[in-house]
């Protein structure tokens, strides 16, 4: 049965000529999970918001939205749940139990019903152990599960998720998607979700809709859609496909397109078993420069009575490095960055810098580096404070504008930029101080594949200029594709480090999807390109 | 474990209100002493530590300053710089010190027992809107502080040149105004999230997790009876400090007062004993 139908929907934001949505036709069956994907700015969020009338943006709307098979009856606010991108900004109250009860209080339910529903929801989604905690003490992943639970407590028939896992680390993201899948399978809730990280989301979707320029390009089962994307050589979308599908396409596969590691392995075994044992040599050590920073046996804790967050950590950083430090959430990655640039001091061990070394740190929330109301003002101020004259400042900003592609963004408020744009602008600002070492804290959070490629190019550019870059991240694919050296932080110490190929080739779980697909057949293949190369393409 | 903090917020709140009122309005030195003893005992039983020295200092300052400034009373002890120091003024000073210290300590205990949820439960039914706003503020203040700390850290690292005090103040101001912008930005999204969950549709109720038990009713009755008792028989306990302090006389009401002030500690200690006994038989 059709639960939601959209007919020839057109929408334009006020004062904008371009149609944000340009003739959308969509039909959603009751109980299915529909994944809406597409590059940034393709109208995913606009479409989703229009489906929930309390959040519908202002603008010119044409076309028809039919809910629950009845165009006349307006949907009740409690029939449609909506979870947004940022886990922090959706939380309203100070206690977990109160947040769960928030929607139910608005419904005006009696005390015992609220008690029952919050209890049910908490035990279904595994919140019981932190039910009485303060919301300010929770991690991003927990907050997003809480947002989901608080919406589901209303018992909506349709659940709309707007890039719900883009701000989460991979493990928390998988947990969230599992919770969504359970709600769908066990409660029959219809789910419409947008996402650009498709590796995990593809597996749970019943159907996928690809959007481009405010239109739906194609709709179908995940396998059909991946085959279409491959056939049309759509570069933008191709980069978001699961690794198995990318390998399939790069090796000129025919027939059924594999979507997960298991299918990918089967495909490779079947077609390329004659090439088994092929291996890539690890990249000959790139010219290692002189030692810039030497960390020796560091120990650090935030409070006298807390536990050590960094334990006997030793690490050397060489000039010209593009070092990626990997690790799960909460292992002390951000702390390590602050130790490296001596913003905090260890209570044991030593941090030695080469003389006169300067640092810049890009924080996780990149927009925090801005203070002024427009980007240009902010950049100018930074130039002046760094002792540049008026003319020098303008030349400098012109140069940065070219490199960091800031045309058209300079007059905007820094908070109005998209994730990738904010990051480029913040990097430009940090570059004004001309640091020797650039430290990046989780730069790939909430960035789509195109943005990551761009970031990697900028980092390469900086290294070319003689800078050293240290990145902490949980994004394995990014580290494998772009770093010159990787180190893994676990339980407060560096447990392994090396050049990416030997680093990931040696791990069996903590490694890229391409490596897991080709393990046992090929050695040291860590990206889809590597696998394709070993297959002879 | 039977615990005083396990009572319904209304019951514990009423107890604190009555204990505070009686302490402040009785003007009887014995009642003040009993209240102080009860408050200190409960303070210890709750495991609170901080601030005890401050309370002692306040006590000593009040007890000393009254005889220095007030020279009423008939029993002169000695002369200081030509001013008479009287026994009555000393006694009154001690009474004032004990009263103030008792009130402060009851407040510390109140803070420990009446957590923010309990406070919201009390006022949510009377003023649901205000209760929600308080709850939102309790959520936003910690995040505002931690964000402010992080931004200050980022910006002091970004501008190493700003060492002078004026530059530093300017930077603090800029960071503060930026924080306000950020929180307004967040408010827009938060209001979306509230509307998406039906805020503003129909009549909102205020949910609290606390159940009202028979023991809560008993506790409330005890507090009310005590207030009524003090209202009618408080006069008999009137105590005059000037011109001559009344002699201390035994009054049966003191026993009731003592029992009342140590009641929360007794409840907790009884719970502890019972728990030890039960645990020994597991």
CA distance B24 to B22: 6
Gap between the Cα atoms of A134 and A122, Å rounded: 15
Q: What is the pLDDT of residues B188-246, one digit of tens each?
A: 889 999 999 999 888 888 888 888 999 999 999 999 999 888 888 777 778 888 888 88
Please state the φ and ψ torsions of residue B10, each to the nearest 5 degrees: -60, -40
B113 and B14 in a common domain: yes
Between A77, A371, A387, which is nearest B201 by CB?
Answer: A77
Residues of B in contact with A364 (CB under 8 A): none
Is residue B172 domain-shared with residue B229, that is, in the same domain?
no
With beta carbons under 8 A apart, name residues in chain A contacting B159.
Answer: 382, 385
The minimum CA-CA distance between A111 and chain B, rounded to whole Å, is: 6
Radius of gyration of chain B (CA): 26
pLDDT at A352: 92
In chain B, how many domains are there? 2
Query: Which tokens go with B37?
Result: 């003893």
The more confidently predicted of residues A360 and B164 is A360
User: A348-353 and A291-300 as β-strands: parallel, antiparallel, unpaired?
Assistant: antiparallel
Please tell me the distance from the alpha carbon of residue A396 to that of residue A383, in angstroms, as a whole number. Answer: 8
Q: Which are the contacts of A395, defined by CB distance < 8 A and separation ≥ 6?
A: none
Is residue B100 predicted with pLDDT exceeding 90?
A: yes
How far does the CA of residue A71 sit from the closest CA of chain B (Å)?
Answer: 21
Q: Are B254 and B230 in contact (CB under 8 A)?
A: no
Classify the phi-psi angles of A126: left when phi > 0, otherwise alpha if psi is within -120 to 50, otherwise beta: left
- The CA distances from residue A81 to A101, A135, A370, B132, B193, in Å, are 15, 20, 34, 21, 10
Residues B98 and B185 in one domain: no
In a domain, B228, yes or no: yes
Residue A38 is predicted with a pLDDT of 85
Q: With bands split at pLDDT 50, 70 and 90, how would you rate the model's confidence at A30? A: very high
Q: How far is CA A369 from each of CA A211, A378, A410, B157, rounded to the nearest angstrom?
A: 33, 10, 15, 10
> Does B247 map to a domain?
yes
Of B249, B243, B265, B223, the closest CA to residue B30 belongs to B249
| Token pair of A414 as six digits | 């820094």
For B205, which of A78, A90, A105 is closest by C-beta distance?
A105
Task: Tell me: pLDDT of A72 over 60.
Answer: no
Q: Do A86 and B189 touch (CB under 8 A)?
A: yes
| Pair B77, B164 in one domain | no
Residue of A nearest to B208 (CA): A111
DSSP A519: B
Backbone angles phi, psi at A187, to 5 degrees: -110, -15
Q: Do A94 and B138 touch (CB under 8 A)?
A: yes
Q: How far apart are CA A535 and CA A248, in angstroms?
A: 11
Q: How remote is the C-alpha of A7 from its chain's centroid?
A: 32
Query: How close, in Å, is residue A141 to chain B by CA atoms?
Result: 17
State the ipTM, two decimals.
0.86
The total of other beta-carbon atoms located within 10 Å of residue A235's CB is 10
List pLDDT tens digits, range A262-313.
999 999 998 888 888 888 876 655 556 788 999 999 999 988 888 899 999 9
d(CA A457, CA B88): 85
Q: Is residue B77 a part of any domain in this protein?
A: yes
Place of tokens 């883009």: A166
Give CA–CA dist B104/B39, Å, rounded. Answer: 9
What is the rounded average pLDDT of the residues A218-231? Answer: 91
Copy the structure tokens of residue B250: 């035994």
Give me the residue from A89, A104, A369 closest to B207, CB to CB. A104
Q: Rg of the Cα trace of chain A?
A: 25
Confirm whether B132 is domain-assigned.
no
Q: Is the per-residue pLDDT at A341 higher than 80?
A: yes
Per residue in A149-166, pLDDT (tens digit) is 999 999 999 999 999 998
Which one of B145, B167, B196 terminates a domain?
Answer: B196
User: In terms of domains, do B183 and B220 share one?
Assistant: no
Whether residues A415 and B138 touch (CB distance < 8 A) is answered with no
Residues B268 and B4 sit within 8 Å (Cβ to Cβ): yes
Residue B143 lies in a domain: yes
pLDDT at A232 over 90: no
Per-residue confidence (pLDDT) for residue A353, from 0 to 100: 92
Q: Say whether both B51 and B78 belong to one domain.
A: yes
Residue of A nearest to B203 (CA): A108
Average pLDDT of chain A is 89
Contacts of B272 (CB under 8 A, 6+ apart): B1
Q: What is the pLDDT of residue B20?
A: 94
Do B44 and B182 have their domain in common?
Answer: no
CA atoms of A94 and A90, how far apart (whole Å): 12
| Judgement on whether residues B46 and B97 belong to the same structural domain of the protein | yes
CA distance A485 to A482: 9
Q: How far apart are CA A322 and CA A328, in angstroms?
A: 20
- Report the alpha-carbon distance of residue B76 to residue A134 in Å, rounded: 58
In chain A, positions 24-63, which contact chain B (CB-CB < 8 Å)?
52, 54-55
Domain closes at, from B196, B231, B263 = B196
Q: Is A415 on the interface with B (CB under 8 A)?
A: yes
pLDDT value, residue A283: 65
Cα distance between residue A195 and residue A166, in whole Å = 7
Residues B179-187: contacts with CB within 8 Å, 24+ apart? Answer: B179/B144, B179/B147, B179/B148, B179/B151, B181/A415, B182/A415, B182/B147, B183/B140, B183/B144, B185/A415, B186/A88, B186/A89
**Residue A106: its chain B contacts at CB < 8 A?**
197-202, 204
Helix (H) or strand (E) holding A220: strand A215-220
B188 shares its domain with B221: no
A498 vs B167, which has greater pLDDT?
A: A498
Query: Does the pLDDT value for residue A194 go beyond 80?
Result: yes
Q: What is the DSSP string of A356-403?
A: T--EEEE-SSGGGG--SSSHHHHHHHHHHHTT--HHHHHHHHHHHHHH
How many CB atoms within 10 Å of residue A435? 18
**Crossing angle for the helix pair B87-113 and B9-25, nearest 10 degrees?**
170
> What is the mean pLDDT of the segment spanning A421-426?
91
Report chain B residues whose CB lies below 8 A from the CB of A135. Answer: 139
CB–CB contact B157 A343 (8 Å): yes
Q: Is B110 within the bounds of a domain?
A: yes
Q: Which tens digit of pLDDT belongs to each residue from B13-53?
A: 999 999 999 999 888 999 999 999 999 999 999 988 877 89
DSSP label at residue A484:
S
pLDDT reading at A142 higher than 90: yes
Q: Which domain holds residue B273?
A: 3-119+211-280
A113 touches chain B (CB under 8 A): no
Note whether A343 contacts B175, CB cutoff 8 Å. no
Question: Measured between alpha carbons, how far is A511 from A285 in angstroms, rounded to an integer?
Answer: 21
Whether B157 sits inside 8 A of A103 (CB atoms) is no
Same domain, residue pair B215 and B191: no
Say what angle helices B128-158 and B165-196 make with each other, to 10 degrees: 140
If asked whether residues B35 and B73 sit together in one domain, one would say yes
Outline where A273-357 has alpha helix (H): 333-340
- Is B163 within a domain? yes
Q: Highest-confidence range of A28-32, A502-506, B136-140, by mean pLDDT? A: A28-32
Interatomic CA distance for residues A144 and A93, integer angstroms: 14
pLDDT reported for residue B238? 80
Spatial contact of A315 and A295, defined as CB atoms under 8 Å apart: yes
Question: Residues near A430 by Cβ (< 8 Å), separated by ≥ 6?
Answer: A360, A361, A362, A369, A438, B158
Question: Chain B within 8 Å of A363 (Cβ-Cβ)?
Answer: yes
- Is the model's pLDDT at A73 over the cut of 70? no
* Contact state of B157 with A94 under an 8 Å Cβ cutoff: no
pLDDT score of A32: 95
Q: Is residue B127 part of a domain?
A: no
The partner residue sitting opposite A95, judged by closest CB among B117, B150, B174, is: B117
Q: What is the pLDDT of residue A262?
A: 92
Distances (CA, A) of B99 to B39, B47, B177: 11, 22, 44
Q: Which residue has the higher pLDDT, B235 or B271?
A: B271
- Residue of A107, A135, A343 lying closest to B153 (CB–CB): A343
**Residues 219 through 278 of chain A touching chain B, CB cutoff 8 Å:** none
pLDDT of residue A125: 93
A247: nearest Cα among A230, A231, A235? A230
CB A122 within 8 A of CB A131: yes
Is B190 in contact with A92 (Cβ distance < 8 A)?
yes
- Pair A437, A470: CB distance under 8 Å: yes
Between A278 and A488, where is the model more confident?
Answer: A488
Among B152, B167, B196, identify where a domain stops: B196
Shortest CA distance from A426: residue in chain B:
B158
Q: Do B228 and B257 have their domain in common?
A: yes
Which of A52, A135, A382 is opposite residue B139, by nearest beta carbon?
A135
Nearest-by-Cβ selection for A154 from B182, B193, B197:
B197
């Amino acid at each position: 049965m059709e639960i939601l139908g959209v007919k020839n929907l057109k929408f334009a934001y006020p004062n904008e000529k371009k149609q944000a949505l340009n003739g959308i036709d969509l039909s959603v069956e009751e109980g299915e999970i529909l994944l809406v994907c597409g590059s940034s700015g393709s109208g995913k969020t606009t479409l989703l918001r229009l489906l929930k009338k309390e959040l519908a943006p202002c603008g010119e709307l044409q076309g028809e939205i039919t809910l629950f098979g009845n165009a006349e009856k307006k949907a009740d606010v409690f029939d449609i749940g909506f979870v947004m991108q940022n886990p922090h900004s959706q939380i309203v109250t100070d206690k977990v139990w109160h947040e769960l009860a928030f929607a139910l209080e608005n419904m005006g339910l009696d005390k015992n019903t609220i008690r029952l529903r919050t209890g049910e929801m908490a035990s279904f989604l595994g919140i019981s152990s932190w039910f009485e905690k303060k919301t300010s003490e929770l991690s991003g992943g927990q907050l997003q599960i809480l947002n989901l639970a608080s919406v589901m407590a209303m018992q909506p028939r349709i659940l709309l998720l707007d890039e719900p896992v883009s701000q989460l680390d991979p493990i928390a993201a998988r947990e969230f998607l599992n919770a969504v899948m359970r709600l769908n399978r066990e409660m029959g809730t219809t789910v419409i979700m947008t996402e650009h990280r498709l590796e995990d989301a593809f597996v749970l979707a019943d159907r996928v809709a690809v959007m481009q320029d405010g239109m739906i390009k194609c709709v179908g089962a995940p396998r059909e859609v991946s085959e279409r994307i491959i056939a049309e050589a759509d570069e933008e979308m191709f980069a978001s496909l699961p690794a198995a599908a990318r390998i399939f396409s790069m090796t000129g596969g025919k027939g059924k397109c594999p979507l997960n590691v298991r299918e990918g392995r089967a495909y490779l075994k079947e077609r390329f078993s004659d090439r088994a044992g092929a291996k890539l040599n690890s990249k000959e050590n790139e010219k290692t420069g002189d030692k810039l920073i030497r960390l020796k046996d560091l120990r650090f804790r935030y409070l006298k009575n807390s536990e050590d967050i960094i334990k006997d950590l030793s690490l050397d950083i060489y000039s010209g490095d593009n070092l990626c430090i990997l690790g799960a959430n909460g292992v002390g990655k951000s702390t390590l960055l602050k130790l490296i640039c001596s913003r905090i001091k260890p209570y044991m061990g030593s941090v030695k810098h080469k003389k006169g070394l300067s640092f810049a740190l890009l924080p996780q929330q990149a927009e925090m580096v801005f203070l002024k109301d427009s980007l240009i003002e902010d950049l100018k101020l930074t130039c002046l404070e760094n002792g540049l004259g008026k003319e020098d400042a303008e030349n400098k900003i012109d140069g940065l504008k070219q490199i960091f592609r800031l045309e058209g963004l300079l007059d905007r408020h820094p908070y109005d930029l998209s994730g990738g744009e904010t990051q480029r602008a913040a990097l430009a600002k940090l570059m004004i101080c001309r640091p020797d070492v650039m430290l990046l804290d989780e730069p790939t959070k909430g960035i789509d594949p195109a943005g990551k490629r761009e970031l990697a190019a900028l980092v390469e550019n900086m290294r070319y200029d003689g800078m050293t870059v240290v990145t902490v991240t949980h994004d394995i694919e990014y580290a494998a594709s772009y770093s010159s050296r990787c180190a893994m932080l676990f339980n407060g110490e560096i447990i392994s480090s090396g050049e990416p190929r030997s680093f990931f080739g040696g791990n069996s779980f903590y490694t890229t999807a391409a490596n897991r697909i080709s393990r046992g057949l090929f050695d040291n293949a860590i990206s889809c390109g590597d696998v394709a190369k070993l297959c002879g393409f | 474990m039977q615990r005083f903090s396990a009572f319904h917020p209304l019951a514990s709140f009423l107890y604190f209100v009555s204990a505070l009122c009686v302490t402040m309005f009785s003007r009887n030195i014995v009642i003040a002493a009993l209240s102080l003893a009860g408050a200190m005992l409960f303070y210890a039983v709750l495991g609170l530590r901080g601030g005890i020295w401050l309370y002692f200092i306040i006590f000593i300052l009040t007890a000393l300053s009254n005889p220095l400034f007030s020279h009423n009373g008939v029993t002169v002890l000695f002369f200081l710089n030509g001013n008479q120091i009287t026994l009555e003024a000393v006694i009154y000073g001690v009474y004032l010190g004990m009263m103030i210290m008792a009130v402060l300590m009851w407040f510390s205990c109140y803070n420990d027992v009446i957590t923010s949820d309990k406070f919201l439960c009390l006022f949510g039914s009377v003023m649901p809107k205000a209760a929600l706003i308080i709850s939102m503020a309790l959520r936003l203040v910690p995040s505002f502080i931690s964000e402010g700390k992080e931004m200050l850290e980022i910006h002091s690292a970004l501008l190493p040149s700003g060492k002078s005090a004026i530059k530093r103040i300017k930077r603090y101001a800029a960071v503060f105004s930026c924080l306000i912008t950020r929180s307004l930005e967040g408010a827009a999204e938060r209001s979306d999230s509230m509307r998406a969950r039906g805020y503003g549709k129909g009549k909102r109720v205020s949910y609290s997790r606390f159940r009202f038990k028979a023991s809560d009713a008993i506790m409330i009755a005890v507090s009310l009876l005590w207030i009524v008792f003090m209202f009618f028989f408080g006069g008999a306990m009137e105590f005059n400090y000037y011109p001559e302090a009344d002699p201390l006389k035994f009054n049966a009401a003191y026993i009731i007062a003592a029992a009342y002030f140590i009641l929360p500690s007794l409840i907790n200690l009884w719970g502890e004993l019972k728990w030890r006994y039960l645990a020994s038989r597991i």
